[in-house]
Chains A and B, each alone.
Chain A
Amino acid sequence: MSNPDLQQYWRKNLKYLAILLSIWFIVSYGCGILFVDTLNNIKMGGFPLGFWFAQQGAIYVFVALIFVYVILMNRLDKSFNVDEK
């Protein structure tokens, strides 16, 4: 694999990381910690919303993030022809 290609592959990877990790930060530190009081004023069934994010919601999002990353990277590996045979 040539050097410019490799750099482009790596930049794409870093872009995915930046987007996914921003979501990771927002659902946990954002919704679950920093803005928990504000969100707690909103009720979702019997749950205050901030409390729900901290004890349930963030975890569901974490699982989804990893699988999204797996799909994105498998596609990226193929398109740059660096996937494992």
Chain B
Amino acid sequence: MDIQTWTLIIVGLTFLLYIAVAIWARAGSTKEFYVAGGGVSPLANGMATAADWMSAASYLSMAGLISFTGYAGSQYLMGWTGGYVLLALLLAPYLRKFGKFTVPDFIGERYYSRQARLVALICAIFVSFTYVVGQMKGVGVAFSRFLEVPFEQGILIGICIVFFYAVLGGMKGITYTQVAQYCVLIFAFTVPAIFISLQMVGNPIPQIGMGGTLSDGTYLLDKLNKLSTDLGFAEYTSAGINDRINVFFITAALMFGTAGLPHVIVRFFTVPKVRDARKSAGYALLFIAILYTTAPAVAAFARTNLLQTVSNQSYTQMPDWFSKWETSGLIKFNDLNKDGLIQYVADPAVNELTIDRDIMVLANPEIANLPAWVIALVVAGGLAAALSTAAGLLLVIATSISHDLLKNYLRPNISEKGELIAARVAIALAVVGAGIAGMNPPGFVAQVVALAFGLAASSFFPAIILGIFDKRMNKEGAIAGMIVGILFTAAYIIYFKPQLGGPGTPEGLWFGIKPEGIGTLGMLINLVVALLVSRLTPPPSAEVQQMVEDIRIPRGAGEAVGH
């Protein structure tokens, strides 16, 4: 059977599985819709969190980015895992003890203010929407390759599927479907990695194989360094001078952003106890780490294979996958010197080949000549990753609009049924909007997503952390901090992202910090502003201070409740 048939079969089977699970566990009440009724075991919650978390960016895009940037790609690896340490140690247990549905709930109550809540709400919608846009591009890439259609049509198909899928489930359905999706995506990611590792270095564990030796006796990473420098690229494993500050800032923005992302935090409201919230974060990171330690190995293998396959080879001799990706427009070859060979080098004046980095994970098994069913499996895994994250995010957007905005601000008398309908309509609008934006996103999937993290880091993280660890923090401080933080970060990003029409040039960057890393500075500014303003304004009331004392001890955590 060919790849196309295998893909149809495997993608079809996995979709049937998700739909079956979603119907089995579909949400009847608003509580089940928002926090799955609060009765999910830590292990299942850990898996669901991992699937929710590992998006098209982790699955499809990250290994590709590492593959093309070598050491600098580490920022994604450390940034997207290290945040869980912060989450488990600084946030999850306390927010679970607090026991409400959403981040704006916490902000609103801790800062005894409807304005604070509204600011948090707007930040939540803004952050989640940016993030969904990244997912839609990932879905588009996967579909365009697998159905061999142009990228825009791939996105349209993605919109339809995500829409159907997210509207049905609610948190309860989504949680159990995500457990299934985790299994599919981790299997699909590791199987090809094991194959390729065996093929190249004879070791079945890619994490170790990455440091192994090739058949000619040289270390894989040494060989890759040599291949790269011969073509004028930077050495794969070395840190460039300009990299250091950006790796530092981007890593930090991703870490603090992770700990501030509404769709991740809400996960810890779904377990029964405070103790479970801590453990659940540990399981989540364990499941995530399986993919995150495999990805750099995949990146190194893919890069080595790619350079050996295309560099200075005849265009007409290129394997099948090359022309198929050309159809989707994501590989472009322009024979500048008309010698019929592919010159793939760092110098833009001589280079003849451009490759969209997001295709690397999907193309990798084909480049390595793996069997057709493995390639089909990778497509299914990519869709699982993108769908599970998109669904989780859309749920946050829907919750924000129906629960936080509609019920608390616009229509307090809305019935439970009306609230569920509003939530589903909100999902529909959000997915269409995200799809349209996904057709023209600023940068690669992983980079778009990195922007969302910067926004989360600069708005929520300080407000939540200070709410728990600083009893003296008041509403004036928190609101001022959030507004200054997110405005500063958004302004810097818009100014320095040419795709967003900003006039900024790379020379103008502050300390050379790229827009992806500016969230770290935004977070520090938020912290300083919040602390300063709070000390100049009256302290919060005794009840609020008592509430802070109360969330610091685990005993007495009830189930998560509404209002």
CB distance from B323 to the nearest CB of A (A): 33
CB neighbors of B among A26-45 (8 A): 28-29, 32-34, 36-37, 40, 44-45
Name the CB-closest residue of A to B42. A70
Q: Is the CB of A33 within 8 A of B247?
A: yes
A69 and B207 in contact, given A1-B553, A46-B220 (Cβ under 8 angstroms): no
Whether the Cβ atoms of A50 and B239 lie closer than 8 Å is: yes
Q: Which residue among A24, A51, A55 has the maximum number of chain B CB atoms within 10 Å of its CB?
A: A55
User: Is the CB–CB distance between B282 and A67 below 8 Å?
Assistant: yes
Query: CB < 8 Å: which of A6, A21, A45, A62 contacts B549?
Result: A6
**Which residues of the partner chain B approach A24 to less than 8 Å between Cβ atoms?**
82, 85
- Give CA–CA (A77, B207) in the complex, Å: 37
Contact indicator per residue, chain B 87-123, by CB within 8 Å of chain A (1) or not (0): 0111001000000000000000000000000000000
Complex Cα–Cα for A44 and B238 (A): 15
Which of A21, A40, A56, A73 contacts B238 (CB under 8 A)? Answer: A40
B177 to chain A, nearest CB (A): 25
Q: Is the CB of A45 within 8 A of B211?
A: yes
Known A54-B71, A54-B77, A74-B275; judge A65-B85 contact (CB<8 A). yes
Q: Closest residue to B88 on the A side, CB-wise?
A: A66
Let me know if B307 is at the binding interface, CB within 8 A. no
For the complex formed, measure the closest distance between the CB of B312 and the CB atoms of chain A, giving whole angstroms: 26
**A17–B552 CA distance with the chains assembled, in angstroms:** 14
> Is the CB–CB distance between A66 and B285 below 8 Å?
yes
B248 touches A46 (CB 8 A): no
Q: Which of B74, B247, B552 has the most CB of A within 10 A?
A: B74
Assess the B211–A52 pair: CB atoms within 8 A: yes
Are A55 and B282 in contact, CB atoms less than 8 angstroms apart? Answer: no
CA distance A55 to B259 in the complex (A): 20
Partner of B221, one of A32, A36, A47: A47
Contacts A10-B552, A51-B237, A84-B273 given; 6 further ones with Cβ under 8 A? A6-B549, A47-B210, A47-B221, A56-B296, A60-B289, A66-B281
Contacts of A48 in B (CB 8 A): 221, 237
| In-complex Cβ contact of B289 among A6, A52, A59 (8 A) | A59
Which residues of chain A come closer than 8 Å to B93, judged between CB atoms? 73
* Contact B71–A51 (Cβ < 8 Å): yes
Which of B74, B85, B212, B289 meets A54, CB within 8 Å?
B74
CB distance from B231 to the nearest CB of A (A): 20
**Per-residue 0/1 for A4-26: is the Cβ within 8 Å of any B Cβ (1 yes, 0 no)?**
00100110010001001100100
| B221 contacts A70, C-beta separation under 8 Å | no
Determine if B77 and A55 form an interchain contact, defined as CB atoms under 8 angstroms apart: yes
Interchain CA distance A77-B244 in the complex, whole Å? 41
- List 24 A-B pairs, Cβ < 8 Å: A6-B552, A17-B90, A20-B89, A21-B85, A29-B248, A32-B78, A33-B239, A33-B244, A36-B239, A40-B237, A45-B219, A46-B210, A51-B71, A51-B221, A55-B77, A59-B77, A59-B289, A62-B81, A63-B282, A66-B281, A70-B279, A77-B554, A84-B273, A84-B556
Report the bound CA distance from A82 to B543 in whole Å. 21
- State whether the Cβ of B439 lies closer than 8 Å to any Cβ in chain A: no
Q: Which residue of B lies closest to A13 (CB)?
A: B552
Residues of chain A lying within 8 A (CB to CB) of residue B222: 46
Main secondary structure of the interface of B (DSSP, over half): helix
Task: List the A side residues contacting B286 at CB < 8 Å.
Answer: 63
Task: List chain A residues, Cβ under 8 A from B90.
Answer: 17
> Which secondary structure characterizes the binding site on chain A?
helix
Query: What residues of chain A lie closer than 8 Å to B156, measured between beta carbons?
Result: none
Q: Answer whether A83 and B289 are a contact pair too, CB < 8 Å, given A50-B239, A65-B85.
A: no
User: Closest approach, in angstroms, between the C-beta of B128 and any C-beta of chain A?
Assistant: 25
B251 near A29: Cβ-Cβ < 8 Å: yes
Contact B89 A69 (CB under 8 A): yes
User: What residue of chain B has the Cβ atom nearest to residue A65's Cβ?
Assistant: B85
B411 an interface residue at 8 Å Cβ cutoff?
Answer: no
Q: Are A84's CB and B293's CB within 8 A?
A: no
Nearest Cβ on chain A to B226's Cβ, whole angstroms: 13
Query: From B209, which residue of chain A is reached at the shortest CB distance?
Result: A46
Cβ of A32 to closest chain B Cβ, rounded Å = 6
B555 within 8 A of A: yes
Residues of A within 8 A of B145 (CB): none
Within 8 Å by CB of A59, from B66, B78, B248, B553, lies B78
Please, which residues of chain A bring their CB within 8 A of the CB of B556? 84
A28 touching B555 in the complex, CB below 8 Å, given contacts A17-B89, A46-B219: no
B84 CB–A CB distance under 8 Å: yes
Q: Which residue of A lies closest to B92 (CB)?
A: A66
Residues of B within 8 A of A36 (CB): 71, 239, 244
Indicate whether B557 reaches chain A with its CB closer than 8 angstroms.
yes
* Pair A28/B88 contact, Cβ less than 8 Å: no
Partner of B293 from A47, A50, A56 at Cβ < 8 Å: A56
Q: Is there contact, CB below 8 Å, between A28 and B219? A: no
C-alpha spacing A66/B278, complex, angstroms: 8
B213 close to chain A: CB less than 8 A: yes
